[in-house]
């Protein structure tokens, strides 16, 4: 399944930059610079952003406006980044987050 967010009710998804590349769990995907990271993930069919602490259940897009943290991922080594409201920059390294991560980690440590 692949979905691209063309019109977001809160975020400006229409004035994005050129196509760039970002790395997600070791895989390179295309993204528009400036679009929400989550939009690029959905467009590439990536639906899981993190796993819950207790039951290890997958979470992904829920609110889409930065309120629920279900889209939290590790971005350039920084955990708990809400990808639905964080714009893409060329060369970003994004990793699926497993549970709570309290300290900065190296992206290569989070690949599965």
How far apart are CB 63 and ligand FES at their closest, in Å?
Answer: 4
Cβ proximity to ligand FES: between 64 and 79 the closer is 64
Cα–Cα nearest to 81, from 17, 111, 38:
38
Q: Any idea which residue has 């920084």 for tokens?
A: 78
The single-letter DSSP state of residue 109 is: G
| Site residues, ligand FES (CB under 6 A) | 61-64, 66-71, 82, 84
Cβ proximity to ligand FES: between 29 and 63 the closer is 63
How far apart are CB 61 and ligand FES at their closest, in Å?
Answer: 5
The single-letter DSSP state of residue 10 is: S
Give the Cβ contact number of residue 87 at 10 Å: 19
- The neighbouring-strand residues paired with 97 are 50
Cβ proximity to ligand FES: between 50 and 110 the closer is 50
Cβ proximity to ligand FES: between 18 and 82 the closer is 82
How far apart are CB 21 and ligand FES at their closest, in Å?
Answer: 22
Report the run of H or E that residue 42 belongs to, with start and end: helix 37-43
Give the Cβ contact number of residue 96 at 10 Å: 18
How far apart are CB 72 and ligand FES at their closest, in Å?
Answer: 7
């Amino acid at each position: 399944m692949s979905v691209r967010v063309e019109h977001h009710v809160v975020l400006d998804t229409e004035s994005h930059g050129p196509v760039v590349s970002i790395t997600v769990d070791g895989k390179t995907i295309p993204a528009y610079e400036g679009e929400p990271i989550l939009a690029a993930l959905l467009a590439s069919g990536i639906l899981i952003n993190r796993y819950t602490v207790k039951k290890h259940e997958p979470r992904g897009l829920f609110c889409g406006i930065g309120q629920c943290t279900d889209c939290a991922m590790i971005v350039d080594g920084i955990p708990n980044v809400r990808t639905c409201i964080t714009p893409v920059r060329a060369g970003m390294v994004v990793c699926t987050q497993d549970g709570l991560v309290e300290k900065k980690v190296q992206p290569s440590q989070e690949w599965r």
